[in-house]
């Protein structure tokens, strides 16, 4: 018969003993000075120039868009004025040419004449 022994006991590990040694006071110094490096001003300057260029370009795009919109409004306004003048001209022509005397004059100009007496044909 097989016997299940269960979980084996694990060996316990003790944390290592800390050795008490006298610690020296640490010097507080900045790492950039300690490594004889300074922050690069060229990078900051280039970033400032790039930001200025982006803002100027954005301003230019907006002003071009505004002027193009103004130009489009002027063009549409002029076209509307032309169409309104043309409409008034057509209404005037219809009023003038719709009278009987104008119709009679156009017929005479086209060499049209009044019809003669109707011709009656006898039946056979």
Residue 32 has pLDDT above 60, yes or no: no
- CB distance 102 to 96 below 8 Å: yes
Using pLDDT thresholds of 50, 70 and 90, give the confidence band for residue 109. confident
pTM of the entire predicted model: 0.42
Q: How far is residue 101's CA from residue 105's CA, in Å, rounded to a whole number?
A: 6
Please determine, for residue 4, whether its predicted confidence score (pLDDT) is greater than 90: no
- Closest CA relative to residue 103, chosen from 116, 92, 112, 91: 112
pLDDT tens digits, 62-102: 999 999 999 999 999 999 999 999 999 999 888 887 777 77
Residue 67: the pLDDT is 95
> 102 CB contacts (<8 Å, ≥6 apart)?
96
């Amino acid at each position: 018969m097989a016997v299940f022994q269960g979980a084996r006991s694990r060996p316990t590990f003790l944390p290592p003993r800390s050795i008490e040694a006298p610690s020296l006071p640490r010097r507080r110094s900045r790492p950039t000075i300690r490594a004889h490096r300074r922050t690069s001003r060229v990078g900051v300057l280039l970033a400032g120039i790039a930001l200025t260029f982006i803002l100027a370009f954005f301003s230019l795009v907006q002003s071009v868009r505004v002027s193009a919109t103004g130009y489009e409004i002027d063009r549409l306004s002029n076209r509307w004025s032309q169409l309104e003048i043309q409409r008034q001209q057509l209404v005037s022509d219809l009023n003038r040419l719709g009278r009987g005397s104008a119709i009679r004059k156009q017929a005479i100009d086209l060499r049209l004449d009044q019809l003669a007496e109707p011709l009656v044909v006898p039946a056979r």
